[in-house]
Structure 1
Amino acid sequence: MSAPVHPLRIANFRAYWLSRFSGTIAISAQAIIIGWQVYEIARQTHSIRESAFLLGMIGLVQFVPLFLLTPVVGLIADTFDRRWIVRGTTALLTLNAAMLGLLTAAGDLSLPFLFLAAGFVGVARAFSGPAYSALAPNLVPRESLPTAIAVSSIAWQTGTIAGPSVGGVLYAIHPDIAYGTISVMFAFALGMIFLIGEVPQPAVQKHRHPLQRIADGFNYVRNNRLVLAAITLDLFVVLLAGATALLPVYARDILHVGATGLGVLAAGMGIGAAIGSVWFSIWPMKSNVGVKMLAAVLIFAAAILTFGLSTWFPLSLAALIVAGGADIVSVYVRQSLIQLHTPDEMRGRVGAVSQLTVSASNELGEAETGLMASLLGPVAAVAVGGVAAIAITLVWSRLFPELKLAKTFDPPDIVDLGPEKGVTQP
């Protein structure tokens, strides 16, 4: 039997991958710039702790629309053409970035507009996330699906981690260059999605009420303990150990390296993610995937703890590189397990639930970190979060033995519990 075709040899998937990679870098680069601008403006009239609190609130503003829209956007991704959902949201993100660039160049940027722009990004991501993740498996043959999911996850996670470094470095050169580049990257992502031809769309269960179909997505996650464990572990660990929200604080007031140093610090996780991505593209993970995920999460938490306590720039950078490498291992395993254990007709809704937890861990984690930093100070907030994340990982390894028992990405047989309610055997 011939070897499966590599997904990047398929034109539709290649266009999808380039779109997701470019768009993710753009949105992550924009996020670090918005954070820096919020902190810079806030520090003109507020203390470090008050400014850190406002910085954390940017995450909350992005999380609220994701939280409110999650039940709806998953159903939309399983009902309508996923390509057009991504096209529409990417077009709006392009306009949002261009507007931020124009206001920055004109010197008219204000805290209210930055918060408004962040909320707009949250709405766009709420719709595009489930559609993006559910679209990938429709672009390749079944035998190429595991590799496609891994490659797609790597594109997203590498973009998420490398994006802040791109934004920080370009902003240090000049804000106009930063926002101009981000706008072009969004436009490129939009163009790539338009290159994707017709793709299969799962049949809509018209006999089931939309509210029932929404509930099916949540029930599937709740009943599949492996998927539930993978999603919730990421939720709590990144929620507690979300140090990246405070990078502007560390760059400006702890390590004293300014905007240029912020770009280098943000590049640290990108470097680690890139190393991990190259590794998996050459040597895909095939055995003991659950144990390796748990080990990677522990390393991530320990690296964040090290970063939080460090006052020496080289050590801080090294800790972030390790954290980025460990994070890509965790995401590679988690996303592959989620996608491969979920039927196609439910990928949009399960993807929406997954996105909600990822957003809760990232954006809500930024708010939590900002609040803790306002109460304890930034160093104590990051250190406490790192220790708590280590404890959570150890607890999850006991609560969900399914993680340690997951040897490969291959899903077990699915038990039919009625329309759209299949769950996997443990």
Structure 2
Amino acid sequence: MLSQSSESVIRQPAFAKSWAARILSTTSFQMLSVAIAWQMYALTEDAFSLGLVGLAQFVPMLLLTLVVGQVADRFDRRKVVAICQLFEGIVAVLLVFGSHAGWLGREQILLAAAVIGACRAFEGPTMSALVPELVPKSLLPQASAWSASAGQTAQILGPSLGGLLFSLGATYVYATSAVALLCAGVLVFLIRMERVERKIEPLAMNSVFSGLVFVFRNKVILGTISLDLFAVLLGGATALLPIFTKDILHTGPWGLGLLRSAPAVGALLMSLVLAHYTLKRALGPILFGALGIFGAATILFALSTSLMLSLFALFVLGASDVISVVIRSTLVQLNTPNEMRGRVSAVNSLFVGTSNQLGEFESGTLAGFFGAVPATLIGGIGTIAVAGLWMYLFPSLRRLRTFKTD
């Protein structure tokens, strides 16, 4: 049924500003990631230094998880997000000057990547915890879908725009990113909403770990977060795209670009569908069904020797993934008290970030031992197996029918 409330979500001024800010911020992050990686390799011609860039962005998220949750639950989330975006914009401005003046080297790039990673570690969970304060509970599923569409739009626009601007020079990428991040920060600062009272616990050891404790005590949240962790961990086909592009599909860099875009295009279109068509019934079966389709699409991609069939498989993979993402993110937000959302979102962010990084490592390791096709097949079959196992381990998640928005 077409949701009559989908347009009212994006028309709410507070949510609309946060949605636009998310697009600007995430697109800028994708552009910066492309530019920093290209510039690092151009300066060093060292694959290890290139790997350190990703590590520099990931380590802050790992180390700051417990701190991020406390900050998101104790301070004005709107200001936390805006300050993070402004700091990222300042880093981009420094990269402009460093590139133009010629003093930007390996160490400076790694430091910039680490600062950006730290800002993103705070920004992501805090923005997720902020969204339920911007819309009524009844509109949260649509808001989650619109938020997913913002992320997928950025994943499509960011790398391509970053690559295009980098052909003109690194300073163009950094300058554009700086302007977009500063605009995002201003948009978030301009958000006006009703003040929501939160019960602030005294800062103590049990408060620091309360996010983890809450997740492990709540079976629905534990099931959704852990399902995301293992599904992404096993379904890491995108990490092996360069191998499939060159050795199996026999295309060039243009083919790799198409393959990388296909999941994001599928996810974007599906997120727009979910923003207009509300998921109201049989949420548990839909969640596990989407994961089954995700695994089947991974298997189809592994067996494909046709570029068009591979693009179709990745398109379906991205579309099915966003269905489960929207359901899982909405469940986590609706089942978490407002005063705990920052800490729980930080734990969720850690699980998702870890699964992405370890998923690429798992796919690469298996591909090293067995080859790219068997590794991807194992991942697809493993995803389906995890979905079946989680249906048994978390019957409350399997039997879930509707979102509780009262």
TM-score, structure 1 normalization: 0.81
Q: Which one of the candidate residues 358, 363, 371 is aligned to 1:364?
A: 358
Q: Which one of the candidate residues 58, 72, 78 is aligned to 1:77?
A: 72
**1:66 aligned partner:** 61
Give the superposition deviation at 1:307: 3.1
Residue-by-residue CA offset, 1:261-306 (whole Å, 9 max, x unaligned): 3332222122101210221122111111111111112222332333
Give the superposition deviation at 1:330: 1.0
Give the superposition deviation at 1:230: 0.7
Give the superposition deviation at 1:153: 3.9
Structure 1 residue 189 corresponds to structure 2 residue 184: yes
**1:278 aligned partner:** 272
**2:344 aligned partner:** 350
C-alpha contact 1:77 1:134 (8 A) present in aligned 2: yes
Structure 1 residue 410 corresponds to structure 2 residue 398: no
Q: Counterparts of 2:387 and 2:49 in 1: how far apart (Å)?
A: 29
Name whichever of 193-202 and 290-299 sits farther off: 193-202
TM-score, structure 2 normalization: 0.85
**1:92 aligned partner:** 87
Q: 1:184 to 1:373 in 2, by over 3 A?
A: farther
**1:6 aligned partner:** 8
Q: Counterparts of 2:10 and 2:142 in 1: how far apart (Å)?
A: 10
Name whichever of 375-384 and 185-194 sits farther off: 375-384
**1:200 aligned partner:** 195
Q: Counterparts of 1:165 and 1:126 in 2: how far apart (Å)?
A: 20
C-alpha contact 2:290 2:323 (8 A) present in aligned 1: yes
Residue-by-residue CA offset, 1:368-410 (whole Å, 9 max, x unaligned): 4344445555454434333322222221122112222111111
Q: Counterparts of 2:141 and 2:35 in 1: how far apart (Å)?
A: 35
Query: Partner amino acid for 2:87?
Result: L
Query: Partner amino acid for 2:351?
Result: T
Q: Which one of the candidate residues 289, 299, 305 is aligned to 1:305?
A: 299
Name whichever of 230-239 and 240-249 sits farther off: 240-249
Q: 1:73 to 1:201 in 2, by over 3 A?
A: farther
Query: Partner amino acid for 1:322?
Result: V
Q: Which one of the candidate residues 349, 364, 389 is aligned to 2:383?
A: 389
Q: Counterparts of 1:290 and 1:56 in 2: how far apart (Å)?
A: 38
Q: 1:110 to 1:315 in 2, by over 3 A?
A: farther
Matched residue SS, 2:402: coil
C-alpha contact 1:104 1:175 (8 A) present in aligned 2: no
Matched residue SS, 1:78: helix
Name whichever of 337-346 and 20-29 sits farther off: 20-29
**1:16 aligned partner:** 18
Q: 1:389 to 1:66 in 2, by over 3 A?
A: same
Matched residue SS, 1:410: coil
Q: Counterparts of 1:25 and 1:245 in 2: how far apart (Å)?
A: 20
Q: 1:161 to 1:330 in 2, by over 3 A?
A: farther
Structure 1 residue 321 corresponds to structure 2 residue 315: yes
Name whichever of 296-305 and 249-258 sits farther off: 249-258
Give the superposition deviation at 1:189: 1.7
Q: Counterparts of 2:88 and 2:252 in 1: how far apart (Å)?
A: 28
**2:116 aligned partner:** 121
Give the superposition deviation at 1:21: 2.2
Q: 1:91 to 1:247 in 2, by over 3 A?
A: farther
Structure 1 residue 133 corresponds to structure 2 residue 135: no
Which structure 2 segments of 5+ residues have no match? Answer: none
Q: Counterparts of 2:208 and 2:121 in 1: how far apart (Å)?
A: 15
Q: Counterparts of 1:60 and 1:298 in 2: how far apart (Å)?
A: 31
